[in-house]
Structure 1
């Protein structure tokens, strides 16, 4: 398994993305890995609340 940024979220149960929405959104993913993936978590503080409530 591999992937970076948006390509990494597909393996997890859920992912945080703004790739297909106007704003950040939580999306269901494949679920091979338990948990949630949030690319750019460290660089973009606005993503952190989405992870905490998901």
Structure 2
């Protein structure tokens, strides 16, 4: 397993997983930061999807 490449994604995954499991109090700063990153990521993916014509108006 290539540790360096996977680190940031794993950090996001585990933080979200912990948040969903109700352990958010343990990692509030990281959770807030990750939420911001995930929001941007999801928004960017949505923009790409829209540009590809998946959105119908």
Task: Mark the structure with the bigger radius of gyration.
Answer: 2
Of structures 1 and 2, the one scoring higher in RCO (CA 8 A, sep 6+) is: 1
Query: TM-score scaled to structure 1, two decimals?
Result: 0.24
Structure with higher helix content? 2
Decide which structure has greater strand share: 1
